Amino acid sequence: MPFGQRSEHTLKNRNNAEERIGWEIHQEERWEEKENKEISTMTFDEIIQVVLSHEGGYVNDPDDPGGETNFGISKKAFPDLDIKNLTEEDAVKIYHDKYWKPSKVEMLPERLWATYFDMAVNMGKKRACEILQKACNHKNKVNIKVDGRLGRNTAWSAKKLEPERLQSFRVKYYADLINRKPKLGKYWFGWYKRALLT
């Protein structure tokens, strides 16, 4: 190829590469702009009402691993608490102090808050974080350690995680659990609906 044509060809390739990089940057900026305008801006006070609607009132089901519960607060988790006479106001305070804050919900994108917090309530903080981390690893090329701890790496990895992907891994957890413990199959449809609604 003559020198003049080679230079022209090299310049054309360079321009194409720059256009491609520019397009990728534009797409990233569009995604970040969309992320900053997230529809879900639910606060704890709003999310807790959704959780309470799932949990209901006083229940003492012998098949429930948590045992006696009221507003979703279990005797197993709080053995010194008078579960039967627990008020909704006290339950909300427990959820805020013992679940919302320790779960570090606010480290995550707001669109994940409701789902992640409801998972922490329903299955425990560590397990909820493990499921979050597995969903992040399914989404991203760079995997993070699945250790049940919500730190900077997990928060960064969750930046682009879709709520639907997190919900799908939550459903998978329930399915795997029931396969291991068929007696819990009576809760399957309720857990499934809860996972899709929150």
112-148 burial string, b = 16+ CB within 10 Å, else e? bbbbbbbbbbbbebeebbbbbbbbbbebeeeebeeeb
**φ, ψ for residue 148 (rounded to 5)?**
75, 15
Overall fold of domain 42-197: Chitosanase, subunit A; domain 1 (1.20.141)
Q: What are 107-157's pLDDT values in tens digits?
A: 999 999 999 999 999 999 999 999 999 999 999 999 999 999 999 999 999
Q: What are phi and psi of 178, to 5 degrees?
A: -70, -30
Q: What is the pTM of this model?
A: 0.76
How buried is residue 91: exposed, middle or buried, by Cβ count under 10 Å (0-12/13-18/19+)?
A: buried
Residues paired with 73 in a beta bridge: 70
